Structure 1
Amino acid sequence: MTETVLVTGGTGFVAGWCVVELLERGYAVRTTVRDPAKREAVRRATGGGDRLTFATADLTGDDGWDAAMAGCDYVLHVASPLGADGHGGPDALTGPARDGTLRVLRAATRAGVRRVVMTSSTAAATPRLASGVSDETVWTDPDDPNLTAYRRSKVLAERAAWDFMDAYNGGTTLSTVLPVAVFGPLLSPGNASSVDVIARLLAGRPPVVPRFGFAIVDVRDLADLHLRAMTSPAAAGERFIGAGEFRWLSEIAETLRSRLGDRAARVPTRGVPDVAVRALARFVPALRTLTPLLGRELAFSSAKARRVLGFSPRPAAETVVDCAESLDAAPLAAGRPA
Structure 2
Amino acid sequence: MASGVDSPLVLVTGATGFVSTHVIKLLQGEGYKVRGTVRNLKDEDKVKQIRELSPDAQHPIELVEADLTKDEGWNEAVKDCSYVIHIASPVPSSPPVNEDDILQPIVEGTKRVLQACADAGTIKRVVLTSSTFAIHGETTLEEDKVYNESDWTDTESTTLDSYSKSKTLGEKGAWEFIKELPDDKKFELAVINPGLVLGPVLSSTVSSSNEIVKKLLERGIPMVPRINLSVCDVRDVAEAHLKAMTTPSANGQRYIISTQNVWLKDIALILCKEFKPQGYRIPTMNAPYFALWLNSFIDKSVRPVLPRIGKEYKFDNTRMKEVLEINPLDLTQTIVDTAYSLIEHGIVKKSKKYKQGKKEEEDQPVEEEKKTEEEIKQEGKSKEKVENNSGDKNEKEKPTELEPEDKPEKVDDEQAKSEIEATEK
Using the size of structure 1 for normalisation, the TM-score is: 0.94
Query: How far, CA to CA, are the matches of 1:88 and 1:232 in structure 2?
Result: 42
Secondary structure of the residue aligned to 1:189 is coil
How many angstroms does 1:195 deviate by? 0.4
Superposition pairs for residues 32-51 of structure 1, below 5 Å?
32-38=37-43, 39-47=47-55, 50-51=59-60
Contact 2:14–2:38 under 8 Å retained in 1: yes
What's the counterpart of residue 164 of structure 1? 177
Q: Give the letter for the 1:120 counterpart.
A: S
Alignment CA distance shift 1:314-1:85 (3 Å): farther
AA aligned to 1:124 is: A
Residue 107 of structure 1 pairs with residue 122 of structure 2:
no
With a CA cutoff of 8 Å and minimum separation of 6, indicate the structure with the bigger relative contact order.
1
What corresponds to 2:147 in structure 1? Answer: 134
The answer for the alignment partner of 2:293 in structure 1 is: 278
Give the aligned partner of residue 324 of structure 1. 339
Which region of structure 1 is more displaced relative to structure 2, 178-187 or 298-307? 298-307
Distance in 2 (alpha carbons) for counterparts of 1:47 and 1:91:
41
The DSSP-based 3-state class of the residue aligned with 1:283 is coil
Q: Could you tell me how far apart the structure 1 residues matched to 2:161 and 2:49 are? A: 31
* Equivalence map 1:31-180=2 (5 Å): 31-38=36-43, 39-47=47-55, 50-82=59-91, 87-112=96-121, 113-126=123-136, 128=138, 129-130=140-141, 132-168=145-181, 169=183, 170-180=185-195
The one-letter code matched in structure 1 to 2:114 is: L
SS in 2 for 1:193: coil
Distance 2:154 2:199 in 1: 29
- Residue 233 of structure 1 deviates from its aligned partner by 1.2
Task: Mark the CA change 1:151 to 1:35 in structure 2 (over 3 Å): closer, same or farther.
Answer: same
Q: In the alignment, does 2:32 pair up with 1:3?
A: no
Of the structure 1 ranges 142-151 and 30-39, higher mean CA displacement relative to structure 2 is found in 142-151
1:24 is matched with: 29
1:234 counterpart residue number? 249
The alpha-carbon distance between structure 1 residues 273 and 191, as it changes in their structure 2 partners (threshold 3 A), is closer
Q: CA deviation at 1:260?
A: 2.6
Alpha-carbon distance, 1:138 to partner: 0.8
Equivalent pair of 2:161/2:304 in contact (CA under 8 Å): yes
Q: C-alpha separation between the residues in 2 aligned to 1:226 and 1:69?
A: 18
Distance 1:330 1:40, change over 3 A: closer
Q: Which amino acid in the other structure matches residue 160 of structure 1?
A: G
**CA displacement, residues 173-212 of structure 1 (integer Å, 9 cap, x when unaligned):** 1111000000000011114231011000000110111101
Q: 1:264: Cα distance to partner?
A: 5.8
The percentage of counterpart residues that share the same residue type is: 36
C-alpha offsets along residues 224-266 of structure 1, whole Å, 9 cap, x if unaligned?
0000000111111111111111111100000011123333622
Which whole-Å CA distance do the structure 1 matches of 2:79 and 2:239 have between them? 24
> Aligned partners of 2:32 and 2:348: how far apart in 1?
34
Structure 1 position 292, deviation (Å): 1.6
> Which segment is superposed worse, 142-151 or 286-295?
142-151
C-alpha distance in 1 between matches for 2:284 and 2:130 = 34
- 1:270-301, CA deviations, whole angstroms, 9 ceiling, x for partnerless residues? 21222322232233210001112111111211
Segment drifting more, 278-287 vs 39-48: 39-48
Cross-structure match for 1:259: 274
Q: 1:202, 1:264 within 8 Å by CA — same for their partners in 2?
A: no
Cα deviation digits, residues 41-72 of structure 1 (max 9, x gap): 32124547543101110000111111111110
What CA deviation, in whole Å up to 9, does each residue of 1:150-179 have, x standing for no partner? 222111100110110110133411111000
Residue type of the alignment partner of 2:41: P
Question: Is there any run of 5+ residues in structure 2 with no aligned partner, and where?
Answer: 1-5, 351-425
Rounded Cα–Cα distance in structure 2 between residues aligned with 1:205 and 1:48 = 39
Distance 1:105 1:225 in 2: 20
How far apart, CA to CA, are the structure 2 residues paired with 1:202 and 1:99? 37
More displaced, 197-206 or 296-305? 296-305
Question: By how many angstroms is 1:332 displaced?
Answer: 1.5
Output aligned runs, 1:205-244, within 5 Å: 205-244=220-259
Q: Given residue 20 of structure 2, which amino acid in structure 1 is its aligned partner?
A: A
TM-score by length of 2: 0.75
Q: Read off the aligned partner of 1:40 and give its amino acid letter.
A: K
The secondary structure found in structure 1 opposite 2:127 is strand
Aligned in 2, Cα 1:191/1:10: closer, same or farther, shift over 3 Å? farther
Residues of 2 paired with 1:326 and 1:264: CA distance?
A: 16
Change (3 A) 1:85 1:61: closer
Once the two structures are superposed, residues 89-108 of structure 1 have per-residue CA deviations (whole angstroms, 9 ceiling, x without a partner) of 10112111100100110111
Indicate conservation of the 8 Å contact 1:6/1:30, yes or no: yes
Give the superposition deviation at 1:144: 2.4
